[in-house]
């Protein structure tokens, strides 16, 4: 390991002890990086150096930037950070903004200057912003001025916070004013080590308090050179589009890392509801789409009359992709969705197969560069066809920021993802549930997501979440929280119809003995279902069930 360029040693001081790290594997030649490495020099600067700076890089409703134009913007922000704001290598900089070229440039600038970017979801409120501010001991924030209200309210929550610099998007914000200084158009990338931390990504809190995951410069390239190169396989003519925020590592990969690694373009839109998303695909001729299963399902009902023939690849992650959604999307578009499982801890997708090899209902095989196994409670491999815990290792892995949960996620050198899977004899992985989503009822193990998939196949169901509810006779029962489509009524007749539908779709013992109709499911800022909130609801209403 070469010497760190960080003058501020906070991240190095707060990495887990080495014996708690996963075992990192660099089995592919393209994953063997030099000791001195700045990821932004590789993702951005090399294109200008090779004479390709005029290639389109970022597209938004308000502006389009070439690679050269983005480089100049990144350089100007990097100069502001180091010459005006006093940032030194290793300092953490919190970033707050909707997806936009300015947000992308700010993130890249922090890393290019040797800082540690801490992107946050734009919809977070003051209390939620206060957590990463305090946890990562952040002194400097770059923020879209439209988010100033909650940002200012978060100020008192962190003693370390010294400066918030806003941009306006109309050339008259404080950041834009500082960027206009002469000689700020050039900036030499900090000579960072490949193992210097450049990103702290906070988990979305599906299981409670968020965890800060620390990623090195080499990690950002490794996900491009494993999943991007061997599964997604983009080319320079591609135009990426996605709904996840840049602060979500699924979005960071889809919006920036994968397109910039191959010299392609990224379409950044602030609003990504189904109508906005489809309009942007049409207008900007997107070719590769990144979004979650719930979004694909919502878009399906709005495809009539839309011209989205430019799309050639669609990627799904963030939660399991129901077979019904895969089949419906294939029938409507002719595109086989690329399912995948990743995590903030691993940075991006580590199981997933290209469209020529994927199988409907399966997450896919281990991405080249990664190894994945299904193990029992003692960490021993189980035979194909046996349900167990998913473990994975490769060029990326979990390093929590000062968090005792590190030793739960990493065991015996492997990352324990918290997912229950089955691997078949061909090496394909089949998702069963999050490990804490398995419902044990009268001795039967029932995977909540499997019941959800069955319910989603009913025409009346828009969304649903399934958890275990305490029950005196069975220990637990399967309880479904259902959001019905407009015009449907959640009465006893509907409950009976849904129960019978599930009975006819999966093993009868798996049907939901309780169904509760709600207007909306609890979700994280990234759109993930918060099943732990549903479990809380189920615990407080135990016994108040509609059963048959």
d(CA 20, CA 406): 7
Check pLDDT > 80 for residue 438: no
pLDDT at 546 over 80: no
140 vs 467: CA distance, rounded Å: 41
According to the model, what pLDDT value does residue 503 have?
Answer: 87
pLDDT in tens, 305-326: 899 999 999 999 977 788 888 9
What is the pLDDT at residue 542?
58
**Which token pair is 253?**
């990969």
Q: Which of 162, 191, 220 is at the close of a domain?
A: 191
Cα gap 512→547, rounded to integer Å = 8
Please say if the pLDDT value at position 543 is more than 50: no
Is residue 101 in some structural domain?
Answer: yes
Contact 339, 296 (CB under 8 A): no
Domain stops at, among 191, 216, 242 = 191
Residue 281 is encoded by which pair of tokens? 């695909």
* In the predicted structure, residue 429 carries a pLDDT above the cut 70: yes
Are the C-beta atoms of residues 478 and 513 closer than 8 Å to each other? yes
Give the residue-averaged pLDDT of 49-53: 98
> Domain residues for 531?
442-540
Decide: residue 170, CB within 10 A, 0-12 exposed, 13-18 middle, 19+ buried: exposed
Rounded Cα gap, residues 463 and 505, in angstroms: 17
365-377 in b/e form (b: 16+ CB < 10 A) is bbbbbbebbbbee
Q: Is the pLDDT of residue 208 over 70?
A: no
In the chain, the number of structural domains is 2
- C-beta neighbour count of 387 within 10 angstroms: 17
Q: Does residue 391 form part of some domain?
A: no
- Sorted by sequence, the CB contacts under 8 Å of residue 66 that are 6+ apart come out as 53, 54, 55, 56, 57
What integer best gives the mean pLDDT of the chain?
A: 92
Greatest pairwise CA separation for the chain in angstroms: 75
Q: What is the mean pLDDT of residues 324-348?
A: 95
What is the model's pLDDT at position 540?
A: 81
With a CB cutoff of 8 Å and minimum separation 6, the contacts of 334 are none
Domain membership flag for residue 316: no
Give the pLDDT band of residue 205 (cuts 50, 70, 90): low
Q: Count CA within 13 A, CB hemisphere, residue 161.
A: 21
Integer-rounded Cα radius of gyration of the chain:
23
Token pair listed for 508: 């009868």
Is 291 contained in some domain? no
Which pair of tokens denotes residue 237?
């003519």
Residue 62 lies in a domain: yes
pLDDT of residue 473: 67
Q: How many CB atoms lie within 10 A of CB 547?
A: 12
Helices 101-112 and 67-79: crossing angle in degrees, nearest 10, is 60
Residue 184 CA to residue 180 CA, distance in Å, equals: 7
Q: Which has more confidence, 46 or 541?
A: 46
47: left (phi over 0), alpha (psi -120 to 50) or beta: alpha
Band the pLDDT of 545: cuts 50, 70, 90: very low
Asked, for residue 142, whether it belongs to a domain, the answer is yes
Q: Model confidence over 66-116: pLDDT tens digits?
A: 999 999 999 999 999 999 999 999 999 999 999 999 999 999 999 999 999
Q: b/e map of 152-164 (b: 16 or more CB within 10 Å)?
A: eebeeebeebeeb
Q: Which pLDDT does position 548 carry in this prediction?
A: 38
How far is the CA of 140 from the CAs of 6, 169, 457, 513, in angstroms?
Answer: 16, 19, 48, 52
Residues whose CB is less than 8 angstroms from the CB of residue 349 and which lie 6 or more positions away in sequence, other chains included: 223, 227, 231, 253, 315, 317, 340, 341, 342, 367
- What is the predicted pLDDT for the residue at 501? 94
Q: Is 342 part of a structural domain of the chain?
A: no
pLDDT value at position 443?
57
Q: Does residue 100 sit within a domain?
A: yes
Torsion angle, alpha carbons of 36, 41, 47, 49, to 10 = -70
CATH code, 451: 3.30.300.30
CA nearest to 420, candidates 463, 441, 450: 450
Residue 520 predicted with pLDDT over 50: yes
Which of 144, 161, 191 is the endpoint of a domain?
191
* Helix H or strand E segment including 214: strand 212-216
Q: CB within 8 A of 221, min separation 6: which ones?
A: 33, 37, 39, 42, 43, 261
Collapsing DSSP states into helix, strand and coil, what is residue 93? strand
Q: What's 366's DSSP letter?
A: B
User: How far is the C-alpha of 70 from the C-alpha of 72, rounded, in Å?
Assistant: 5
- Res 289 pLDDT > 50: yes
Q: Identify the CA nearest to 225 among candidates 42, 392, 50.
A: 42
CATH classification at residue 99: 3.40.50.980
- Is 460 buried (19+), middle (13-18) or exposed (0-12) by CB count in 10 A? middle
pLDDT tens per residue across span 214-236: 999 999 999 999 999 999 999 99
> H-type helices in 263-348, by residue range?
274-284, 293-300, 323-333
């Amino acid at each position: 390991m070469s010497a760190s360029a960080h003058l501020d040693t906070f991240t190095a001081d707060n990495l887990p002890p080495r014996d708690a790290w996963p075992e990192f594997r660099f089995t592919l030649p393209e994953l063997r990086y030099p000791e001195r490495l700045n990821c932004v020099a590789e993702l951005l600067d090399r294109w200008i150096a090779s004479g390709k700076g005029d290639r389109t890089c970022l597209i938004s409703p308000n502006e389009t930037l070439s690679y050269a134009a983005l480089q100049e913007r990144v350089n100007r922000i990097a100069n502001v950070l180091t010459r005006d704001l006093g940032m030194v290598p290793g300092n953490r900089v919190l970033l707050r903004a909707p997806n936009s070229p300015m947000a992308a440039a700010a993130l890249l600038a922090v890393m290019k200057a040797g800082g540690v970017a801490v992107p946050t979801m734009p919809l977070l409120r003051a209390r939620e912003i206060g957590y990463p501010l305090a946890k990562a001991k952040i002194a400097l924030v770059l923020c879209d001025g439209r988010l100033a209200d909650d940002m200012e309210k978060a100020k008192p929550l962190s003693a370390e916070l010294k400066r918030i610099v806003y941009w306006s998007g109309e050339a008259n914000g404080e950041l834009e004013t500082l960027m206009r200084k002469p000689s700020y158009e050039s900036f030499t990338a900090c000579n960072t080590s490949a193992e210097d931390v450049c990103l702290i990504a906070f988990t979305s809190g599906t299981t409670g308090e968020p965890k800060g995951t620390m990623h090195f410069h080499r990690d950002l390239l490794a996900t491009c050179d494993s999943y991007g190169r061997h599964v997604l396989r983009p080319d320079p003519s591609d135009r990426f589009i996605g709904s996840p925020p840049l602060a979500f590592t699924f979005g960071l990969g889809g919006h920036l890392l994968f397109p910039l690694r191959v010299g392609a373009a990224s379409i950044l839109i602030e609003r990504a509801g189904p109508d906005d998303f489809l309009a942007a695909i049409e207008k900007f001729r997107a070719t590769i789409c990144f979004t979650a299963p719930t979004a694909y399902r919502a878009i399906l009902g709005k495809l009539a009359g839309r011209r989205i023939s430019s799309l050639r690849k669609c990627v799904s992650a963030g939660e399991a992709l129901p077979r019904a959604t895969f089949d419906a999307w294939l029938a409507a578009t002719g595109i086989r969705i690329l399912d995948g499982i990743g995590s903030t801890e691993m940075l991006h997708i580590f199981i997933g197969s290209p469209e020529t090899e994927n199988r409907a209902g399966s997450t896919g095989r281990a991405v080249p560069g990664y190894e994945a196994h299904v193990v029992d409670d003692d960490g021993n491999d189980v035979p194909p066809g046996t349900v167990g815990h998913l473990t994975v290792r490769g060029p990326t892995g979990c390093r929590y920021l000062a968090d005792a949960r590190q030793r739960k996620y990493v065991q015996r050198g492997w990352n324990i993802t918290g997912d229950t899977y089955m691997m078949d004899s061909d090496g394909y992985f089949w998702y069963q549930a999050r490990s804490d989503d398995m419902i044990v009822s009268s001795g039967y193990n029932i995977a909540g997501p499997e019941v959800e998939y069955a319910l989603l196949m009913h025409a009346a169901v828009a969304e649903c979440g399934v958890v275990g509810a305490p029950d005196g006779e069975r220990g637990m029962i399967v309880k479904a929280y259902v959001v019905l489509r407009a015009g449907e009524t959640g009465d006893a007749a509907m409950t009976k119809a849904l129960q019978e539908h599930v009975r006819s779709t999966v093993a009868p013992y798996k049907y939901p003995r309780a169904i509760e109709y709600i207007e909306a499911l609890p979700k994280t800022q990234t759109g993930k279902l918060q099943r732990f909130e549903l479990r809380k609801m189920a615990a407080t209403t135990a016994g108040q069930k509609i059963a048959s």
